[in-house]
Amino acid sequence: MSQMFKKLSPKGDAAGEDLSSHPQDVPLAIHDLTVAYHRKPVLWDVDLDIPEGKLVGIVGPNGAGKSTLIKACLDLIPRASGEIGVYGKPYKEQRHLVAYVPQRESVDWDFPVSALDVVAMGAYRRLGWFRRVTREEAKKAHDCLTQVGIGHLADRQISQLSGGQQQRVFLARALMQDAELYLMDEPFAAVDAATEEAIVSLLRSLSEQGKTCLVVHHDLATVTTYFDWLVLLNMRVVAAGPSETTFTRENLQKTYGGKLSLLEKAAEALRHTID
Amino acid sequence: MNWTSFDTWIVVVGALCAVACALPGCFLVLRKMSMMGDAISHAVLPGLAIAFLITGTRASVPMFFGAAIAGVLTALFTQWIARFGNVDRGAAMGIVFTTLFAVGLILIRQAADHVDLDPGCVLYGAIELTPLDTVGQTGIPRAALVNGGALLGNLLIILVLFKEFRLGAFDASLADTLGFSSQFLHYLLMTMVAMTTVAAFESVGSIIVIAMLIVPPATALLLTRKLPTMLLIASLTAVLSAILGHLGAIQIPRWFGMEATTTSGMIALAAGVLFTLAWLFSPSEGLVTKARRHRSEDLSLPESTA
């Protein structure tokens, strides 16, 4: 299968043989990534270098493969071809540097755990097999919850939290991992204004500490305010680079194709940024 | 009522088996794979039959491994068919366990017809007879030791890997990104279910196993929102089912002038009754509780804005 895609790959084999053609120090290097579901490609020949310390937004229409891109980077779904490098080494050797914030709907919020329990899961890698959560780690988990503004809800069972609070629990869990690279799948989806603000300030503080965040985002109106680097995705990478130069009418038209209503929104968003 | 040490042993065997099932059952329920217990407990039949055909004895050890392997294969085949056959997991499970169960029945009928490996016995068990089969001079029924062993094994694994099991059940993707293989945890749980099923098989039959894997954990989930408490309540419900089940089997038919009925069936039924009670009266989730709370709120306070 991977051979087949190699042959079909539009760039062919000339596009660089492996990860060594990418800069070694970038937090995330994606080389010639192709992903297919039931032989239908979802991502095609994605080749990207994500720069360090940036807030990077991934934007594209529904079904563009945004979540798939993140999951493929994390080895959660099989790749038809391609390689992933994290700070110059394969992802498998660098798991401890990467934190993942999945979509909120990906788990069962009726599960019998407290907010603190979920955040403490971020420490499991440090703890390893068999060892229980230590007192220091529990305290740290509490601090992470406080950092996202819901320290007082630590003992709540997670079904008793609002959608925004649940999202913050996920972010606190990622903080707990002490990672260098944060991959987030639609953290802004269906959250209240207070949570949106909390997430933005959290992203900024991560970026100030030199951490890199790659965030799937769907709201074109806020994209340039929140992110300093963008990836426009629709099965392929349409454009990638600093927000100012990447978020153009032409690129958006290429990304969203004939979807008029979305184009309208994009145009409006553009007007906002120009004003 | 005429309670003898026989009855005590029957309850002990039933309780040990019920708790051994309820512990891994909690994780099955939380992973939304409740029917996997049902599937595995049916699909171990060909494992039993093949182990018997190969060794020619009904010795426990080969039977045990034959069934455990069949149980794990059920989980594996289900996964494969769901992934490569592009069918949903429930359907894949249905295909695998009915096929394996049928193979098991055919093998038993064809090759082992003249021996004492009775499909009916496998299904309903013979818990009433377990006190007769004791180990040496101890007077302890073999079934109590076997089921006690299964319980101890499950308890140890869950205590040691509690953190990992919870992580795998709550968020398998996170488990993988943290380096805890969700596949490994999945198959470990499936192996535990298969082993427990086999341990319970001969003595108490698969009715109890299927009921105890699911009903006590589902009951516990109505009563608590903490996983350690859930494991505890599920275990208590399991023990209570065994006690009430056996009492009911002796006593209830007498009220109607009949002979005592099957204890296995009654234990499963008792669990169902306990579940219904929890469903109606659980402090947080119960139907009756909720209705009452609603009415008192209507009378006293204006609804607070949540």
Going by pLDDT thresholds of 50, 70 and 90, the confidence category of residue A134 is very high
Q: Mutating which of A40, A111, A166 best tests the B interface, going by the most B Cβ atoms within 10 A?
A: A111
Going by pLDDT thresholds of 50, 70 and 90, the confidence category of residue B116 is low
Mean pLDDT, chain A, whole residue set:
88
Nearest residue of B to residue A74, measured between CA atoms = B177
Chain B, window 218-237: residues with a beta carbon less than 8 angstroms from a chain A beta carbon: 221, 224-227, 229-230
Separation between Cα atoms, residue B169 and residue B102, nearest integer Å: 31
DSSP secondary structure code for residue B301 in this structure: S
Separation between Cα atoms, residue A85 and residue A22, nearest integer Å: 9
Long-range contacts, stretch B141-145, CB < 8 angstroms, 24+ apart: B141/B9, B141/B13, B142/B203, B143/B13, B143/B17, B143/B202, B143/B203, B143/B204, B144/B9, B144/B12, B144/B13, B144/B16
Q: Do A75 and B176 touch (CB under 8 A)?
A: yes
| Alpha carbon distances (Å) from B104 to A69, B42, B66, B233 | 45, 9, 12, 35
Are B170 and B222 in contact, with CB atoms under 8 Å apart?
no
pLDDT at position A55, please? Answer: 96
The more confident residue out of A163 and B112 is: A163
Separation between Cα atoms, residue A103 and residue A67, nearest integer Å: 9
Q: Do A127 and B163 touch (CB under 8 A)?
A: yes
B9: domain CATH number is 1.10.3470.10
Is residue B223 over pLDDT 50?
yes
Are A270 and A252 in contact, with CB atoms under 8 Å apart?
yes
Are B224 and B8 in contact, with CB atoms under 8 Å apart?
no
Mean pLDDT, chain B, whole residue set:
86
DSSP secondary structure code for residue B1 in this structure: -
Tens of pLDDT, residues A151-162: 999 999 999 999
Are B249 and B261 in contact, with CB atoms under 8 Å apart?
yes
Name the 3-class secondary structure at A102: coil
Say how many Å lie between the first and final Cα of chain B, rounded.
54
Going by pLDDT thresholds of 50, 70 and 90, the confidence category of residue B112 is low
Per domain, the residue ranges of chain A are 57-71+97-274
Is residue B189 over pLDDT 50?
yes
Amino acid making up residue B38: D
Q: Do B178 and A130 touch (CB under 8 A)?
A: no
Separation between Cα atoms, residue B297 and residue B291, nearest integer Å: 10
Q: Who contacts A151 (Cβ-Cβ below 8 Å, separation ≥6)? A: A142, A143, A145
Measured in degrees and rounded to the nearest 5, phi and psi for residue B216 equal -60, -45
Instruction: Say which of A111, A131, A177 has its CB closest to residue B170.
Output: A111
Average pLDDT value for residue range A48-75: 94
Are B33 and B169 in contact, with CB atoms under 8 Å apart?
no
Any domain includes B250: no
Q: Do A74 and B161 touch (CB under 8 A)?
A: no
Q: How many domains does chain B have?
A: 1
Are B234 and B216 in contact, with CB atoms under 8 Å apart?
yes
Q: Do B169 and A111 touch (CB under 8 A)?
A: yes
Whether residue A169 lies within 8 A of chain B, CB to CB, comes out as no
Separation between Cα atoms, residue A258 and residue A249, nearest integer Å: 13
Instruction: Say which of A74, A108, A132 has its CB closest to residue B163.
Output: A132
What DSSP letter does each residue of B239-282 carry, written as one string?
Answer: HHHHHHHHHHHHHHHHHTT-----HHHHHHHHHHHHHHHHHHH-
Instruction: Say which of A71, A107, A131 has its CB closest to residue B171.
Output: A107
Contacts of A106 in chain B (CB under 8 A): 171, 173
- The H-or-E segment that residue A239 falls in is strand A236-242
pLDDT at position A8, please? Answer: 45
Q: Who contacts B170 (Cβ-Cβ below 8 Å, separation ≥6)? A: A107, A108, A111, A113, A118, A121, B30
Domain ranges, residue B184:
5-214
Is residue A11 over pLDDT 50?
no
pLDDT at position A248, please? Answer: 87
Average pLDDT value for residue range B117-130: 71
Instruction: Say which of B166, B180, B221 has its CB closest to residue A113.
Output: B166
Instruction: Say which of A38, A113, A159 has its CB closest to residue B170.
Output: A113
Separation between Cα atoms, residue A260 and residue A273, nearest integer Å: 20
Contacts of B161 in chain A (CB under 8 A): 129-130
Tens of pLDDT, residues B71-108: 888 888 988 898 888 788 889 988 998 999 899 888 87
Tens of pLDDT, residues A241-272: 999 999 988 888 888 876 545 556 666 666 66
Say how many Å lie between the first and final Cα of chain A, rounded.
49
Any domain includes B272: no
Whether residue B188 lies within 8 A of chain A, CB to CB, comes out as no
Is residue A48 over pLDDT 80?
yes
Separation between Cα atoms, residue B240 and residue B246, nearest integer Å: 10
Separation between Cα atoms, residue B11 and residue B19, nearest integer Å: 12
Is residue B148 over pLDDT 90?
yes
CB atoms closer than 10 angstroms to residue A204: 13
Are B297 and B304 in contact, with CB atoms under 8 Å apart?
no
Chain A, window 48-87: residues with a beta carbon less than 8 angstroms from a chain B beta carbon: 71, 74-76
**Fold adopted by A57-71+97-274:** Rossmann fold (3.40.50)
Average pLDDT value for residue range B13-21: 95
Q: Mutating which of A67, A101, A124 best tests the B interface, going by the most B Cβ atoms within 10 A?
A: A124
Separation between Cα atoms, residue B73 and residue A239, nearest integer Å: 47
Contacts of B230 in chain A (CB under 8 A): 112
Whether residue A114 lies within 8 A of chain B, CB to CB, comes out as yes
Average pLDDT value for residue range B224-229: 94
Whether residue B161 lies within 8 A of chain A, CB to CB, comes out as yes
